[in-house]
């Protein structure tokens, strides 16, 4: 892990709710937007996800449909303690071309309040606005050549005065935690890092595999991701984003009456279809995202239960992360299987539990502890589907450390 380089850091003592603006547009990187929002809300910030488009619904860079809380025009007279720009293309261009956002962010910089950007956004959005003068900055390696050479740094995170910059989806957790530290202090950042399973993630085995079988397809694999109100948004968007980057056909299906769900930290996501429509197709893999309330709702879906049972009988692949291995367990789908889950629920599994590992694969079942471990989980699926070379290529695009062999 590369170290965080800090020029000046500012800490604010939170005697009242701190307001954060996260603008989104067509083609915004969904992992970056959602991880920033989720992590800052967990820390206690009032986060507004604002659309720079004429409508609130925004299709992100890998096709996830997010619904913003409000329009950017409603934010022009608000004071924000932090403005954090996610990257993605053409999302960073959409942010750059939004005059209202430019004015809000320029005022933020003038008044020496915190602002930050990740991935393409430092080079594509902040630089043309003139908000990076005399600042050392980092960005996605694909955009480093746009930065003034003298001021460009290669660390995953860089803090220079009021501005914090970072490199990509794979550094989003570090970036969000760095922003938490500047807003709320080191102890809150440490606590949130532990909640996200970030600190123990560094020392854990990435993956353990038992009863190894090939997951081989002579066509594009088809994956179903069922979601519900209370599902964990970080897990939904990370799995979808990474699998779609690897060219997997991913279908997101809502078990609710509406295709729009409200995830565990309040992010609104629109599924591709309802579970009843999705059930008309066959999937090579079904993955359940976590979130305690979401897992309970997934467990109650009769259609999903039937799909999962059919998946097992047909010898196809299924898996779950975070709280959702419990759903598999209650449906009798973990019998004689090794698995893992979020530390808060792992004690409820009666099958053979594997502790201290981010991802466990047993034959055609894959489980993970979730949250910050979900990048490893999604990459483990890519590796099983397509092998090491494609997985490494996807990881490089994310700016996520992945073994060379």
Name the residues annotated as catalytic. Answer: 119, 140
359 forms bridges with which residues in the sheet? Answer: 207, 368
Burial class (CB in 10 A: 0-12, 13-18, 19+), 150: exposed
Q: List all residues 6 or more positions away from 178 whose beta carbon is below 8 Å from its beta carbon.
A: 4, 157, 159, 164, 166, 189
Q: Provide the greatest CA pair distance for the chain.
A: 62
Contact 172, 38 (CB under 8 A): no
The H-assigned helical ranges of 45-164 are: 91-96, 99-110, 121
Dihedral of alpha carbons 72, 76, 78, 79, sign: positive
Question: What sign for the dihedral angle of Cα 102, 106, 108, 113?
Answer: positive
**Count of C-beta atoms within a 10 Å radius of residue 253:** 26
Alpha-carbon span 367 to 359, nearest angstrom = 6
Task: Give 191's contacts (C-beta < 8 A, 6+ positions apart).
Answer: none
The answer to whether 44 and 14 are in contact (CB under 8 A) is yes
């Amino acid at each position: 892990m590369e170290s965080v380089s800090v020029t000046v850091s500012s800490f604010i003592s939170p005697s009242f709710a701190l307001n954060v603006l996260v603008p989104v547009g067509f083609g915004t990187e969904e992992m970056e937007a959602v991880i920033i929002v989720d992590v800052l809300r967990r820390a206690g910030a009032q986060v507004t996800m604002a659309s720079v488009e004429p409508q609130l619904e925004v299709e992100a860079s890998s096709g996830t449909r997010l619904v913003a809380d409000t329009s950017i025009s409603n934010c022009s007279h608000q004071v924000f303690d932090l403005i954090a720009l996610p990257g993605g293309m053409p999302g960073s261009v959409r942010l750059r071309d939004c005059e209202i956002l430019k004015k809000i962010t320029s005022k933020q910089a003038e008044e020496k309040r915190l602002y930050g950007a990740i991935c393409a956004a430092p080079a594509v959005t902040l630089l043309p606005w003139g908000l990076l003068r005399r600042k050392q900055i980092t960005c996605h390696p694909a955009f480093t050549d746009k930065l003034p050479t003298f001021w460009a740094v290669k660390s995953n995170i860089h803090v220079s005065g009021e501005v914090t910059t970072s490199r990509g989806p794979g550094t989003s957790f570090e970036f969000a935690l760095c922003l938490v530290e500047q807003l709320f202090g080191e102890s809150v950042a440490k606590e949130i890092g532990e909640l996200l399973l970030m600190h123990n993630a560094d020392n854990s085995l990435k993956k353990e595999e038992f009863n190894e079988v090939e997951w081989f397809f002579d066509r594009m694999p088809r994956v179903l991701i069922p979601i519900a109100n209370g599902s964990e948004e970080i897990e939904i968007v990370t799995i979808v984003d990474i699998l779609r980057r690897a060219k997997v056909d991913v279908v997101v299906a809502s078990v609710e009456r509406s295709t729009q769900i409200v995830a565990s930290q309040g992010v609104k996501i629109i599924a591709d279809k309802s579970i009843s429509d999705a059930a008309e197709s066959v999937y090579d893999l079904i993955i359940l995202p976590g979130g305690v309330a979401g897992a309970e709702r997934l467990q109650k879906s009769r259609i999903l239960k039937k799909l999962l049972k059919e998946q097992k009988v047909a010898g196809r692949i299924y898996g779950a992360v975070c709280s959702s291995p419990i759903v598999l367990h209650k449906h009798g789908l973990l019998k004689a299987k090794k698995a893992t889950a979020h530390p808060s629920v792992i004690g409820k599994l009666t099958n053979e539990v594997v502790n201290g590992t981010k991802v466990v694969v047993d034959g055609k079942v894959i489980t993970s502890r979730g949250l910050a471990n979900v990048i490893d989980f999604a990459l483990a699926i890519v590796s099983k589907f397509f092998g090491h070379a494609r997985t490494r290529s996807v990881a490089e695009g994310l700016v996520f450390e992945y073994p060379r062999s």
